[in-house]
């Protein structure tokens, strides 16, 4: 049960490349957490979203419509996304005021598909500052298909590290839609996430010397500074890995739901025992 509180709940921003599964995760996590009596509030920050299946406390489409911005300012979809983000950021304080005092355990924010737009524009930094309220983290989603090749996997590690660096928030990486990978592929990708030297060998085979050395050296450096290394499989479809998201949030912000001292780890343990 959520505690009545005048402060806003901690915030998880769901970030990842286009189609990585951000909106599905937001929906699945809210639904899944309900059964644990963890009150997950959501926000849709993507003005281009066609459909929103979660139940947002705030939907950016109520403020700006991407198609209207395109028409009114004669812009293409990317230009319109940028302008829409600026228009929304200009009202960030009003939005935060509207959300103030909401009682909930955690707020999950679905972000636009253009990860570079979210990570690099000042508008997003402003939104994070205002909505995050010094209690925020990032759930970063790896695309499963891109993760199947060593270079695709490394590119996503680098991108995630850049997002972490740019936003300055604790970041945890998840391998999205893991149900789409066969067992061998999943095992291989998880091993790359755990052992840099195995990834290095795979990358040498695929990309050759100079590119590999460049990428691996970058990764080594970045990983030295990573707060939460590793990669966790996630499937919104099968509700897999959702407990890991809750554990991550609990580790940062304290226990949530009925069991305020780490319900998620109990669930995972129970599940492992059953399997
Ligand atoms: N099999 C499977 N499909 C998934 C899963 N999560 C999402 N999908 C599918 O992947 C596609 C993209 O999912 P979205 O949740 O819309 O991804 P997104 O990151 O919000 O996409 P954009 O907002 O357009 O960047 C949809 O067809 C989803 O049904 C999953 O866990 N398993
Ligand atoms: Mg989406």
Residue 214, domain member (yes or no) = yes
Ligand 1: does its nearest atom lie under 6 Å from the Cβ of 54?
Answer: no
CA 111, 116, 119, 122 dihedral sign is: negative
Alpha-carbon distance of 143 to 25, in angstroms, equals 13
Residue 3, domain member (yes or no) = no
Helices 122-132 and 77-89: crossing angle in degrees, nearest 10, is 40
Residue 253, domain member (yes or no) = yes
Q: Which of 112, 128, 175 is nearest to 147 (CA)?
A: 175
Ligand 1: does its nearest atom lie under 6 Å from the Cβ of 47?
Answer: no
pLDDT at 4: 41
From the CB of residue 251, how many other CB atoms can be counted at a distance below 10 Å?
16
- The model's pLDDT over 15-24, given as tens digits with 9 standing for 90+, comes to 999 999 999 9
pLDDT at 210: 82
**Closest Cα to atom 29 of ligand 1:** 24
Going by pLDDT thresholds of 50, 70 and 90, the confidence category of residue 275 is low
Mean pLDDT across the stretch 99-115? 90
Residue 6, domain member (yes or no) = no
Residue 206, domain member (yes or no) = yes
Instruction: Determine phi and psi for 230, rounding to 5 degrees.
Output: 95, 170
Ligand 1: does its nearest atom lie under 6 Å from the Cβ of 200?
Answer: no
Ligand 1: does its nearest atom lie under 6 Å from the Cβ of 144?
Answer: no
Residue 5, domain member (yes or no) = no
Q: Which ligand approaches the C-alpha of residue 114 most closely? A: 1
Question: Do 92 and 128 form a contact (C-beta atoms < 8 A)?
Answer: no
| Candidate of 143, 147, 177 to mutate for ligand 1, largest count of ligand atoms within 8 Å of Cβ | 177
Any idea what the CATH number is for the domain that residue 262 is in? 3.40.50.300
Specify the pairing of strand 40-44 against strand 106-110. parallel
Residue 266 has pLDDT above 60, yes or no: no
Q: What is the CA 100 to chain-centroid distance, rounded? A: 23
In terms of residue numbers, what domain contains 220?
11-274
Q: Which ligand approaches the C-alpha of residue 115 most closely? A: 1
- The model's pLDDT over 173-200, given as tens digits with 9 standing for 90+, comes to 999 999 999 999 999 999 999 888 898 8
Alpha-carbon distance of 150 to 157, in angstroms, equals 10
**Closest Cα to atom 21 of ligand 1:** 19
Residue 69, domain member (yes or no) = yes
How far apart are the CA of 66 and the centre of ligand 1, in A? 20
Ligand 1: does its nearest atom lie under 6 Å from the Cβ of 22?
Answer: yes
Ligand 1: does its nearest atom lie under 6 Å from the Cβ of 180?
Answer: yes
pLDDT at 29: 98
Tokens 């403020």 found at: 63
Ligand 1: does its nearest atom lie under 6 Å from the Cβ of 160?
Answer: no
- Structural domains counted in the chain: 1
Q: What is the CA 128 to chain-centroid distance, rounded? A: 13
How far apart are the CA of 234 and the centre of ligand 2, in A? 16
Give this prediction's pTM.
Answer: 0.90
Mean pLDDT estimate for the chain: 87
Question: Do 165 and 193 form a contact (C-beta atoms < 8 A)?
Answer: no
Residue 60, domain member (yes or no) = yes
Least confident of 6-15, 223-232, 236-245: 223-232
Residue 237 alpha carbon, nearest atom of ligand 1: 31
Q: Which ligand approaches the C-alpha of residue 139 most closely? A: 1
How far apart are the CA of 44 and the centre of ligand 2, in A? 9
Alpha-carbon distance of 122 to 132, in angstroms, equals 15
More confident position, 2 or 273: 273
pLDDT at 3: 41
């Amino acid at each position: 049960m959520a505690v009545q509180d005048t402060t806003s709940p901690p915030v998880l921003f769901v970030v990842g490349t286009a189609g990585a599964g951000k909106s599905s995760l937001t929906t699945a996590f809210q639904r899944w957490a309900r059964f644990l009596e963890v009150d997950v509030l959501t926000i849709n920050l993507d003005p281009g979203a066609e459909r929103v299946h979660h139940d947002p406390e705030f939907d950016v489409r109520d403020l700006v419509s991407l198609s209207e911005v395109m028409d009114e300012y004669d812009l293409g979809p990317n230009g319109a996304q940028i302008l829409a983000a600026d228009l929304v950021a200009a009202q960030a304080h009003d939005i935060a005021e509207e959300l103030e005092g909401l009682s909930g355990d955690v707020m999950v924010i679905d972000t636009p598909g253009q990860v570079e737009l979210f990570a690099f524009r000042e508008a997003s930094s402003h939104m994070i500052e205002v909505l995050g309220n010094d209690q925020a983290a990032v759930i970063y989603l790896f695309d499963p298909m891109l993760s199947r090749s060593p270079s695709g996997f490394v590119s996503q590690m680098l991108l995630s590290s850049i997002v972490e660096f740019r936003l300055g928030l604790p970041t945890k990486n998840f391998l999205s839609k893991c149900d789409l990978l066969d067992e061998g592929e999943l095992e291989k990708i998880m091993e790359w996430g755990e052992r840099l030297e195995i990834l290095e060998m795979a990358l040498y085979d695929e990309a050759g010397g100079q590119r590999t050395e460049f990428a691996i050296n970058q990764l080594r450096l970045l990983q030295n500074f990573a707060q939460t290394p590793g990669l966790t499989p996630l499937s919104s479809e099968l509700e897999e890995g959702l407990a890991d998201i809750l554990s991550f949030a609990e580790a940062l912000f304290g226990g949530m739901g009925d069991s305020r001292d780490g319900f998620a780890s109990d669930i995972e343990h129970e599940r492992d025992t059953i399997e």
